[in-house]
Amino acid sequence: MSARTRELLILILVGLITATGFASVYIARQNEISPASLSYAGFFFVLYLIAHVVARVTVPDADSYLLPMAALLTAIGLTEIYRLGPNDALRQGLWVVIGVAAFAGTLIALRHDFRRLESYKYLFGLSALGLLFLPALPKIGHSVNGARLWVRIGSLQFQPGELGKIAMIVFLAAYLHSKQEVLAQGRPKDFGPLLAIWGCAMLVLVATHDLGSALLFFGIFLAILYLATARLLYVGVGLVLFLAGSAGVYETTAHVRDRVTIWLHPWTTQAIPCPGHSILMPRQECASYQLVKSLYSIAAGGFSGTGLGKGTFTLPGGGNLIPDLNTDFIFSALAQELGLVGIAAILLVFMLFTVHGFRIALVAGDGFSKLVCAGLTFGFALQTFIIIGGIVRLIPLTGITLPFISYGGSSVVANFILLAVLMLVSQRANEPA
């Protein structure tokens, strides 16, 4: 069986799962939504069939599991977004179409040799900075929950940092690959451009309060640096700098102090001053409201969950229990409706995706491909860890999207580009000589 035929079979399986998911949401919420919801599954299947055909033409020998896994994760996300608000699902569906288009476009554009990207490294570095800086611009920039990371043009909202992440990884990989030998000697001047671009990115992120992305960029930087130079010393120095930087930011920024306090002590028994209000209440009803309500939602799922469409996310009066449920907190919605069984399955898919990504990095023939693949895959895993880890209180909560699942266009598009790059590398490594 060829790699693509296997991919098609798995995609059919994913299509069946998707259809079951939409059907169960439809059954559970009949008086709210129409049977037309079932057409989502069909539409979805056709979309991925197109992606499959493009892959068959451009990357016939690439890994056959990545595309179906991405399809499964987007389908799970879309089903849950649909369940939470049918109107958002239409928009998200549109973004998935754009994402698949970006996937196909990337495959077609780079089908001959993606390695020419390496020669445009500074372009990537600068565009990463530009993308990160966009939300800080007046008029189009827009802040949500104290973090200024959105661009709004008309009715279209976009988080350019997600694409900036991909560009930054390509830049880091290309730069470190070309300077691999000299960097290993540790001469400071070779680090100049690297530290300049990366340092600017970190400054922008910290200034815009995008702590989740700052953490992500930092982790990716250290990972690629370690891969390219094999110097654990750099990682050690990086971590020391990170801790020092964190301590500095903690001391100077109230926003960060609040996040850490919420993480350590989400519940208080006594009423305390509520930031931004003049009233006293327990922290779980004020600053840590979102985190605590999300934990209740996760716990309510228990082992097997309430079932799709049957979770409780709204008050009898109509208000939402958890703010930002379909973006940053979609995990807690899924955890309530699918339970531990479902969540573990989803996390296993994330793990499998990660394993396949790293496997491509292992078999890739050249250093640049290895660095890009490993960097992108590590970024994918780290991003998953940062957002879910924040929700389950492993680390302080920072707003960042869950790859492929969260509502949000830029995230979906960026992850499809990531997927395309992984498959391009895989094709080159697997292709018969």
Partner 1 sequence: MNARVRFLALSSLVMLVALIVASTYWQAWAAPDLANKNDNAIRQISEFTIDRGRILAADGTVLARNRVVHTNNRTYYYRRYPLGALTAAAVGYATQNRSRTGLEHSASDYLTGADQSLAGALKQIGDRLLGSTIHGSDIRLSLNLAAQRVAMNALGANCGAAVAIEPSTGRVLELASKPSYNPNDVESHYGRISNIRAACKSASPLVDRATQGLYPPGSSFKIVTAAAALDSGKFTPESIFHDPGYCTEYGQPVKNFADLGRPEVFGTITLFQAFEHSVNSVFCNVGKALEIHPLMDYARRFGFGVKPPIDLPSNSLQASGLYLHGRLLGANEDWRGDPGRVAFGQDKLLVTPLQMAMVAATVANGGVLMRPHLVDKVIRRDGTVDKITPQEIGRAIKPETAAELTQMMEAVVSGGTGTAAQIAGVRVAGKTGTAENGLGRPNTTWFVAFAPADAPRVAVAVVLENQSGTGGTTAAPIAREIMQAILASTANSNP
Binding site for partner 1 (CB under 8 A): 27-29, 31-32, 223, 226-227, 230, 267, 282, 284-285, 292-293, 295-303, 307, 309-310, 312, 314-318, 321, 335-336, 339-340, 343-344, 347-348, 350-351, 354-355, 358, 361-362, 367, 370, 374, 377-378, 381-382, 384-385, 388-389, 392-394
| Matching residue, tokens 């077609």 | 108
Cβ nearer to partner 1, comparing 146 with 389? 389
CB 274 within 8 A of CB 281: yes
How far is 84 from 314, CA to CA, in rounded Å? 10
Cβ nearer to partner 1, comparing 188 with 319? 319
The sign of the torsion formed by the CA atoms of 221, 363, 118, 109 equals negative
How far is 181 from 228, CA to CA, in rounded Å? 9
Cβ nearer to partner 1, comparing 153 with 394? 394
| Separation in Å, CA 168 to CA 113, 201, 389, 404 | 20, 9, 23, 19
How far is 51 from 427, CA to CA, in rounded Å? 15
Rama region for 154: left / alpha / beta (φ>0; ψ in -120 to 50; rest): left
**What is the SS3 assignment for 141?**
strand
Cβ nearer to partner 1, comparing 26 with 44? 26
How far is 413 from 131, CA to CA, in rounded Å? 14
- Min dist CB 343 to partner 1, Å, is 5
Cβ nearer to partner 1, comparing 202 with 382? 382
| Number of separate helices (H) and strands (E) present in the chain | 15, 5
- Min dist CB 207 to partner 1, Å, is 27
- Min dist CB 73 to partner 1, Å, is 13
Cβ nearer to partner 1, comparing 196 with 394? 394
Q: How many CA atoms lie within 13 A of 229 on its CB side?
A: 24
Cβ nearer to partner 1, comparing 153 with 351? 351
CB 220 within 8 A of CB 382: yes
Cβ nearer to partner 1, comparing 2 with 312? 312
- Min dist CB 388 to partner 1, Å, is 5
| Separation in Å, CA 276 to CA 254, 258, 331 | 12, 12, 27
- Min dist CB 336 to partner 1, Å, is 8
| Matching residue, tokens 């994918």 | 380
- Min dist CB 135 to partner 1, Å, is 27
Indicate the burial class of 132 (C-beta count within 10 angstroms; 0-12, 13-18, 19 or more). Answer: buried
Q: Name, in order, each residue with C-beta under 8 angstroms of 224's C-beta and a sequence gap of 6 or more.
A: 169, 172, 173, 176, 371, 374, 375, 378
How far is 375 from 234, CA to CA, in rounded Å? 16
- Min dist CB 63 to partner 1, Å, is 15
Cβ nearer to partner 1, comparing 82 with 158? 82
- Min dist CB 58 to partner 1, Å, is 25
- Min dist CB 358 to partner 1, Å, is 4
**Full DSSP string of 166-222:** HHHHHHHHHHHHHTHHHHHHT-HHHHHHHHHHHHHHHHHHHHTT-HHHHHHHHHHHH
- Min dist CB 286 to partner 1, Å, is 11
Cβ nearer to partner 1, comparing 200 with 363? 363
